[in-house]
Amino acid sequence: MPTVIAVLRETVPGEQRVALVPEVVQKLVQGGAEVRIQHEAGRSAFYPDAQYEKAGAKILPDAAGVVQGAQLVLRVQPPSLEEAAALAPGTIVVGFFYPSRNLPLVAALRDGRVTSFALELVPRITRAQSMDALSSQATAGGYMAAILGAANCPKFLPMLTTAAGTIRPALVLVLGAGVAGLMAIATAKRLGAVVEAYDVRRAAGEQVRSLGAKFLELEINAEGQGGYARELTPEEKVKEQAMVGAAVARADVVITTANVPGRKAPRLVSKETVATMRPGSVIVDLAAESGGNCELTKPGQTIVEQGITILGPTNLPAQVPFHSSQMFAKNLQSFLTLLLDKTGALVSDFSDEILVASALTQAGQVKHGPTREALQGARA
């Protein structure tokens, strides 16, 4: 019997992505799987049902019919508690789960004996690069951050030579040179801005310069495990704030992308620093969902403070759903090579190191240590 893979329409407000695109569906079907797609699951991402049918998928009208008898359920956003309750024991769910923010859901998956793999837990090793959905979606987020900054800036980004005189280019400052930051730098450069960037990891400087941006250097090396930045010491934070503050004050657009996984976002721009910016300047805070890099950021809102526009966008990848979904589906396709054998059947065990690291729940247990501890603490 072929493995039945189910893809549901995303239900989180504002989510326009879909877990699989027709191109990947076709490859899964050719590999021996049966793929079921809920009616109009890809509509918001501009993948109509007809394309899925042409790729070999079965289109079903409702979620209940899609998941009935399915061994694999693929998602972008975590399921709701009601959606989790509808899953049969032994079902495997793959997608983003954000477990620290969704402890009741993790408990429901555990108690329902549902196996779940969280893509945000995929280890950052060479073999798993093609499965790195965090990076692929951060690429989309960085792109959109630069577009939002340009759209809200009252200036032209490029230098223009006109009959009315020469217009100087805008200065864009990007704080954090991870995947999202580098994409924001590249996009702002393509739009013609002068770009500066800062990251506590010295190794990021070479990547920043390769994109044509100026790297702001401070004698601090805060590179941590897995390519992420470690948290700064109090002394380092004082030095950082002074340099970053001066850079923020002269920028027309500031894009902040600094995140420490599993923790509140580091505070990079204080309200006092915002007060030093020129009226009309813009801050786009990509860390809004985890507390914000700017002290004044309000998640999901755009506010104006002393003439400074501060955007706290959430789920930016959903604003470019066509390509975000395409990249996410390719990540899932690579991940599924660990769960399906060459005949399209489910593997008998989950001993691969990538599966071990990304397992959230399995056989009535919470496999991810920090989440298990958080649940135990919540019960205490």
Compute, in degrees rounded to 10, the torsion defined by CA atoms 10, 11, 13, 15.
Answer: 0
Beta bridge partners of 35: 5
- Closest C-alpha among 177, 152, 139 to residue 316: 139
Cα 373 versus chain centre, distance: 24
Cβ-based neighbours of 111, under 8 Å, separated by 6 or more: 364
State both tokens at 211.
């994109």
State both tokens at 164.
């009315």
Sorted by where each starts, the structural domains of the chain and their CATH numbers stand as: 4-121+322-364 (3.40.50.720), 140-319 (3.40.50.720)
Residue 186: Cβ-neighbour burial (10 angstroms; 0-12, 13-18, 19+): buried
- Angle, vertex CA 373, rays to CA 85 and CA 260, nearest 5: 100
- Closest C-alpha among 66, 15, 70, 64 to residue 43: 15
pLDDT in tens, the chain (380 residues): 789 999 999 999 999 999 999 999 999 999 999 999 999 999 999 999 999 999 999 999 999 999 999 999 999 999 999 999 999 999 999 999 999 889 999 999 999 999 999 999 999 999 999 999 999 999 999 999 999 999 999 999 999 999 999 999 999 999 999 999 999 999 999 999 999 999 988 889 999 999 999 999 876 666 666 656 667 778 877 877 788 899 999 999 999 998 876 678 888 999 999 999 999 999 999 999 889 999 999 999 999 999 999 999 999 999 999 999 999 999 999 999 999 998 889 998 899 999 999 999 999 999 999 999 999 877 75
State both tokens at 27.
């490859």
Q: Which residue has the tokens 């240590």?
A: 369
Q: What is the pLDDT of residues 76-102, one digit of tens each?
A: 999 999 999 999 999 999 999 999 889
- Angle, vertex CA 355, rays to CA 368 and CA 142, nearest 5: 80
Q: What is the pLDDT of residues 321-352, one digit of tens each?
A: 999 999 999 999 999 999 999 888 999 889 99
SS3 of 91-154: CEEEECCCHHHCHHHHHHHHHCCCEEEEHHHCCCCHHHHHHCHHHHHHHHHHHHHHHHHHHHCC
Compute, in degrees rounded to 10, the torsion defined by CA atoms 145, 149, 151, 155.
Answer: -160
Q: Say how many residues make up the chain.
A: 380
Spatial contact of 331 and 130, defined as CB atoms under 8 Å apart: yes
Spatial contact of 204 and 177, defined as CB atoms under 8 Å apart: yes
Active-site positions read 124, 129, 132, 135, 228
Rg (CA), the chain: 22
Would you tell me how many other CB atoms lie within 10 Å of the CB of residue 335?
Answer: 23
What's the confidence (pLDDT) of residue 222?
Answer: 63
d(C-alpha 133, C-alpha 335), whole Å? 10
Which ranges of the chain would DSSP assign to H, the alpha helix?
A: 22-30, 49-55, 63-67, 81-85, 103-111, 133-152, 179-190, 204-210, 234-250, 271-274, 321-336, 353-358, 369-379
Residue 56: Cβ-neighbour burial (10 angstroms; 0-12, 13-18, 19+): middle
Would you tell me how many other CB atoms lie within 10 Å of the CB of residue 349?
Answer: 6
The CA distances from residue 6 to 41, 132, 342, in Å, are 11, 21, 19
